[in-house]
Copies of this chain bind each other. A is one copy, B any other.
Amino acid sequence: MSLADTLTEHIRRVTGQPRVALHEPSFKGNEWAYVKDCIDTGWVSSVGAYVDRFEHDLAEVTGAKHAVVVSNGTSGLQVALQLAGVGPGDEVIIPALSFVATANAVRHCNAEPHFADSEYASLGLGVPALADHLARIVDRRGGASVNMHTGQRIGAIVPMHTFGHPVDMPALMALARRYAIPVVEDAAESLGSLIGERHTGTHGLCAMLSFNGNKIVTTGGGGAIITDDTALAKRAKHLTTTAKQPHAWAFVHDEVGFNFRMPNLNAALGCAQLEQLPGFLAAKRELTRRYADALKDVVGVTLFTERAGTRANYWLQTLILDADVADQRDAILSHTNAAGQMTRPVWELLTTLPMYRACPSMDTPVARDLARRIVNLPSSPQLVAGTPT
């Protein structure tokens, strides 16, 4: 029996279904009630009680002082970078192994991605290797850290918590402080993920969350900026709502703003979803246990689990192929998908995409290796019967 056959059989045994998606949302809470309330009251749009409540609830769940909801994660990261002072001609350090939105948000600020390697322990930015890289390339000029090869300022570092597995933020923050570079967390995938007792997204200056349809909590489409900095949160709200000065009727806008509002209709869905986060987290953890159990005797694969001192949200279940079977990845993907068990590889390395090929980059051997060896498995919370989904 081939590895692809074996894996397909074991995955199907865990999902218990002939056809199963990679990740589907579960709407068994107050989704109906809150969304219907928006329609009944006419408050579907850019202001409304659910927007305020969702922001309040997000702050409470993450432990951040403030949350500002926005139209999606990409827009949220773009604004978060701007808030951190990133501007045209800056470089922003991001992982080579990330969804394209991380790089796009940098470009939308007219800045340039500078790619960094990953580490095996977290699947995210590897701090020791980045420290070596910065030591080699950074020239301190006045207060700024400048890439001596390009002459461009390094405006921010953006760790991304891959599939909900936290980057080593204490180490990264210490490194960033040494270079006086702000840290903006791409926490799109890590709502519910902790380092010790502290939520991902609360270590850096600010962070972006995503509530796209495939995320652990969805608003259809949406995102948020979280931060402990009150002035920054206020400016985030101002910038994302056309920079209009408060007035009963006059239209005075004081800078170039964005329309990145989250409609009240979507925030209503988010409020209902967030109430169920503990149940989703429990279901995903149980699903990890079941996959780990089912796959423990399969030679050549390892289910990726949280590193010590962290608590992952297990947003997407992640299989790492041994190096010597990495060449079977596409066969595994074809076979499982053809058999109705939807799997996917990790993203193409951003350094290989045509629009980012020429950007500065450190050597990325770990990211290159992981990019060949990761397979995500069906991860919907409702695959675990008996959980509140």
Interface residues of A (CB under 8 A from B): 24-27, 31-32, 35-36, 38-40, 42, 44-46, 71-75, 99-101, 103-104, 107-108, 110, 212-214, 218-221, 242-244, 248-259, 261-266, 269, 333, 337, 343-348, 353-355
Listed A/B pairs (21) with beta-carbon separation below 8 Å: A25-B42, A27-B40, A35-B35, A45-B220, A46-B212, A71-B71, A75-B259, A103-B256, A104-B257, A107-B256, A213-B263, A220-B263, A249-B333, A249-B344, A249-B345, A251-B347, A253-B348, A254-B353, A254-B355, A265-B269, A266-B266
Q: Does A45 contact B255, Cβ atoms closer than 8 Å?
A: no
A255-B218 contact given A242-B101, A266-B263, CB 8 Å threshold? no
Main secondary structure of the interface of A (DSSP, over half): loop
Interface centre among A46, A220, A242 (most CB of B within 10 A): A220
- How far is A343 from B250 in the complex, measured between Cα atoms in Å? 11
| A100 and B213 form a contact (CB under 8 A) | no
A41 nearest in chain B by CB position = B27
A42 to B269, CA, bound (A): 12
Is B348 a contact partner of A252 (Cβ separation < 8 A)? yes
Cα A244 to Cα B344 with chains together (Å): 15
Asked if A253 contacts B46 (CB within 8 A), the reply is no
A257 in contact with B100 given A39-B31, A248-B337 (CB within 8 Å): yes
Whether the Cβ atoms of A72 and B71 lie closer than 8 Å is yes
Chain B residue numbers with a CB within 8 Å of A243 are 100
Whether the Cβ atoms of B255 and A213 lie closer than 8 Å is no
Q: Do A220 and B266 touch across chains, with their CB atoms under 8 A apart?
A: yes
**CB contact under 8 A between A104 and B254, given known A212-B46, A221-B261, A263-B266:** no
- Decide if A220 touches B264 in the complex (CB within 8 Å): yes
| Shortest distance between the CB of A368 and any CB in chain B (Å) | 15
Give min CB distance, A249 to chain B, whole Å: 4
* CB of A208 to closest CB in B, whole Å: 12
Residues of B within 8 A of A249 (CB): 333, 337, 343-345
**Contact across chains for B104 and A45 when beta carbons are under 8 A apart:** no
> Known contacts A25-B42, A72-B259, A107-B256; can you find 15 more A-B pairs with CB under 8 A?
A24-B42, A27-B39, A35-B36, A39-B269, A44-B220, A45-B212, A45-B214, A71-B72, A73-B259, A74-B259, A100-B243, A213-B263, A220-B266, A249-B343, A250-B345
Pick the 3 closest A-B CB pairs, nearest first: A45-B213, A220-B263, A220-B265
- Which residues of B sit under 8 angstroms from A218, Cβ to Cβ? 44-45
Closest B residue, CB atoms, query A254: B354
Per the bound structure, the CA–CA distance linking A53 and B266 in Å amounts to: 20
State whether A213 touches B46 (Cβ < 8 A): yes
Residue among A251, A347, A354 facing the most chain B CB atoms (10 A cut-off): A251
Which chain B residues border A73 with CB–CB below 8 Å?
259
